[in-house]
């Protein structure tokens, strides 16, 4: 298919050429496991609607897409900035054919994309999968920062190029450098996150975010893990959810490698690295980790992780944090055998199963089958046997709640004093024993809340904290998790 696009403020006009027949717009963006329904942004189309995302069209047709987004997973078009994550804009017919886009922009605009350039402002890929895995960024203000001969940063903001250079160099030592790569980077007060692509990444962070090292290393390591070595069951179909049991490896192990790479590159210190591990391990101290395994958490990503509510820590477990913790365990075990975690990635086939992972580890007498398929608390217990790990808040008086900055309850631990007292998510705490300072008291107290605008009082009796604040000591490095549970 061939597309000619004319971006303007809030909209992109598209002229398309294909074959008369059915076109399909993706309902989600690969790498982000939630049905986003981006096809909702189509406001005009020359074609007959067949369903929410399918149309019958002639061999050439036009359509208009609303693109007033702030999200690098979508399409953004302002009068001085353009970012297109292609699944948000382009439909497909036959996936295994050439796809091209010609971009109609003034000459003063710079365009950056990892698509292959074919002529003036025309960019192509040999199939739909590659075409939609290559974002397009353009602006008259776009800066192209050279990291090295094959990596660039495309941004309208500023970034520490030296930090990225160190990360890239260290990451490439593990699995090699497959060629040209683009970091699309932007600051925003409206959005944040990163998403991996085959030869690029789109990263957006808030203005006050300082530490970008691990985020950049994470997205960059995806260039291998997920893009070149892929879970066997992660087969995108663009219209429907797909289920994989391996996101703990695709995401969590990538997260661990991001910490490792950043540490090896010297862009974070040992203490910061250990803090990442403590924070991840802390999430395994909640009820969800006694209920759900990493394999299960991975399969439910569409309804749990990507639709997190205030009960998430009771009902599931993060496959990022659980996977990072498991990778830490695996690395500790490999270290005992004189190896490191890199060996696992080096030996994996391009489509990997759990058995591939485990059979490599079994060569080093490590077996993680139980840790992946049993409730994730087992990972915490396994690590406790290997390192000096302590729950520093264990036994202290506690209520079992987490509060937002304005004292609104955003988590209630199951069977905790807060649960027994009758507190409810989104209750805004006004006072404890008549005083607005909220700190846990021994014994019984009266807690005053506003619930849906009604003032209510509850008796609450603190009990010993089961322990959520993780402290690890390795050698002379000691770190504690940030978790704030009252």
Q: Which of 136, 20, 122, 16 lies closest to 67, judged by CA? A: 136
To the nearest whole angstrom, how small is the minimum distance from the Cβ of residue 306 to Zn ion? 12
Q: Based on CB atoms, which residue is closest to Zn ion, 63 or 320?
A: 320
Tally of helices (H runs) and strands (E runs) in the chain = 15, 31
Q: Based on CB atoms, which residue is closest to Zn ion, 142 or 217?
A: 217
To the nearest whole angstrom, how small is the minimum distance from the Cβ of residue 222 to Zn ion? 6
Q: What are phi and psi of 170, to 5 degrees?
A: -70, -40
Q: Which of 414, 41, 31 lies closest to 198, judged by CA? A: 31
Identify the sign of the CA torsion 182, 347, 280, 274.
Answer: negative
Nearest 5°: the CA angle 347, 367, 243 is: 70
Which alpha helices (DSSP H) does 236-318 contain, by range?
247, 254-264, 270-283, 288-291, 294-299, 312-315
Q: For Zn ion, which residue has the nearest CB?
A: 251
User: CA of 360: how far to CAs of 39, 127, 259, 295, in Å?
Assistant: 42, 33, 22, 19
CA neighbours within 13 Å on the CB side: how many for 285?
25
CA distance 225 to 248: 12
Q: Which of 28, 176, 12, 2 lies closest to 92, judged by CA? A: 2
Question: Which H helix or E strand runs over 213?
Answer: helix 213-221
CA distance 448 to 443: 16
Q: Based on CB atoms, which residue is closest to Zn ion, 279 or 463?
A: 279
To the nearest whole angstrom, how small is the minimum distance from the Cβ of residue 29 to Zn ion? 13
Neighbours of 211 (CB within 10 A): 11
Residue 79 corresponds to which tokens in the numbers above?
Answer: 């009068």
Q: Based on CB atoms, which residue is closest to Zn ion, 251 or 413?
A: 251
CA distance 165 to 294: 33
Residue 201 corresponds to which tokens in the numbers above?
Answer: 């990444």
- For the purposes of burial, counting CB atoms within 10 Å of the CB of 51, is it exposed (0-12), middle (13-18) or buried (19 or more)? exposed
To the nearest whole angstrom, how small is the minimum distance from the Cβ of residue 84 to Zn ion? 20
Q: Based on CB atoms, which residue is closest to Zn ion, 99 or 256?
A: 256
Q: Based on CB atoms, which residue is closest to Zn ion, 29 or 418?
A: 29
To the nearest whole angstrom, how small is the minimum distance from the Cβ of residue 258 to Zn ion? 9
Q: Based on CB atoms, which residue is closest to Zn ion, 11 or 253?
A: 253
To the nearest whole angstrom, how small is the minimum distance from the Cβ of residue 389 to Zn ion? 26
Residues forming contacts to Zn ion in the complex (CB under 5 A) are 251
- For the purposes of burial, counting CB atoms within 10 Å of the CB of 162, is it exposed (0-12), middle (13-18) or buried (19 or more)? exposed
Q: Based on CB atoms, which residue is closest to Zn ion, 301 or 480?
A: 301
User: What is the widest separation between alpha-carbon atoms in the chain?
Assistant: 75
To the nearest whole angstrom, how small is the minimum distance from the Cβ of residue 184 to Zn ion? 15
Q: Based on CB atoms, which residue is closest to Zn ion, 69 or 201?
A: 201
**Per-residue b or e along 433-457, where b marks 16 or more CB atoms closer than 10 Å to that residue's CB:** eeeeeeebeeeebebbbebeeeeee
To the nearest whole angstrom, how small is the minimum distance from the Cβ of residue 254 to Zn ion? 5
Q: Based on CB atoms, which residue is closest to Zn ion, 324 or 379?
A: 324
Q: Based on CB atoms, which residue is closest to Zn ion, 194 or 288?
A: 194
CA distance 45 to 149: 42
CA distance 356 to 369: 12
Q: Based on CB atoms, which residue is closest to Zn ion, 186 or 218?
A: 218
Question: Which H helix or E strand runs over 369?
Answer: helix 369-373
């Amino acid at each position: 298919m061939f597309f000619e696009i004319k971006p303007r403020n809030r909209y992109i006009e598209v002229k398309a050429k294909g074959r008369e027949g059915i076109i399909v717009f993706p309902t989600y963006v690969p790498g982000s496991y939630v049905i986003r329904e981006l096809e909702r942004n189509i406001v005009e189309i020359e074609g007959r609607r067949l369903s929410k995302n399918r149309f019958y069209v002639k061999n050439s047709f036009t359509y208009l897409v609303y693109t007033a987004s702030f999200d690098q997973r979508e399409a953004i078009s302002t009068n001085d900035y353009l970012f297109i994550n292609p699944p948000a804009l382009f439909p497909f017919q036959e996936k295994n054919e050439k796809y091209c886009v010609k971009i109609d922009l003034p000459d003063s605009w710079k365009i950056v994309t990892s698509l292959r350039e074919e002529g003036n402002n025309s960019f192509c890929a040999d199939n739909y999968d590659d075409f939609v895995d290559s974002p397009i960024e353009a602006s008259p203000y776009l800066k192209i920062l050279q990291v090295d001969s094959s990596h660039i940063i495309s941004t309208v903001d500023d970034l520490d190029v030296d930090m990225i250079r160190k990360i890239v160099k260290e990451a490439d030592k593990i699995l090699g450098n497959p060629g040209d790569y683009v970091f699309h980077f932007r600051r925003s007060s409206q959005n944040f996150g990163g998403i991996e692509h085959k030869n690029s990444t789109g990263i957006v962070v808030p203005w006050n975010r300082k530490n970008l090292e691990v985020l950049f290393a994470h997205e960059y390591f995806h260039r291998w893990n997920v893009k070149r070595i892929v879970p066997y069951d992660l087969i995108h179909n663009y219209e429907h959810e797909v289920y994989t049991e391996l996101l703990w490896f695709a995401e969590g192990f990538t997260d661990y490698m991001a910490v490792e790479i950043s540490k090896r590159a010297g862009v974070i210190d040992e203490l910061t690295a250990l803090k990442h591990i403590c924070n991840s391990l802390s999430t395994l101290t909640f009820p969800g980790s006694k209920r759900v395994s990493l394999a299960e958490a991975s399969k439910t990503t569409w309804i749990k992780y990507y639709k997190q509510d205030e009960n998430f820590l009771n009902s599931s477990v993060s496959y990022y944090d659980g996977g990072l913790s498991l990778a830490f365990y695996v690395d500790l075990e490999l270290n005992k055998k004189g190896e490191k975690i890199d060996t696992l990635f080096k030996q994996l086939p391009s489509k990997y199963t759990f058995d591939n992972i485990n059979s490599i580890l079994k060569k080093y007498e490590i077996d993680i089958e139980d840790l992946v398929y049993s409730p994730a608390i087992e990972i915490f217990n396994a690590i406790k046997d290997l390192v000096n790990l302590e729950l520093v808040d264990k036994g202290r008086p506690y209520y079992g709640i987490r509060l937002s900055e304005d004292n609104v309850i955003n988590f209630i631990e199951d069977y905790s004093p807060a649960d027994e007292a009758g507190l409810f998510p989104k209750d805004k705490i006004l006072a404890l024993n008549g005083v607005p300072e909220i700190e846990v008291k021994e014994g019984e107290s009266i807690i005053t809340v506003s619930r849906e605008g009604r003032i209510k009082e509850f008796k609450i009796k603190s009990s010993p904290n089961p322990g959520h604040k993780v402290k690890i000591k390795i050698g002379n490095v000691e770190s504690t998790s940030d978790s704030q549970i009252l």
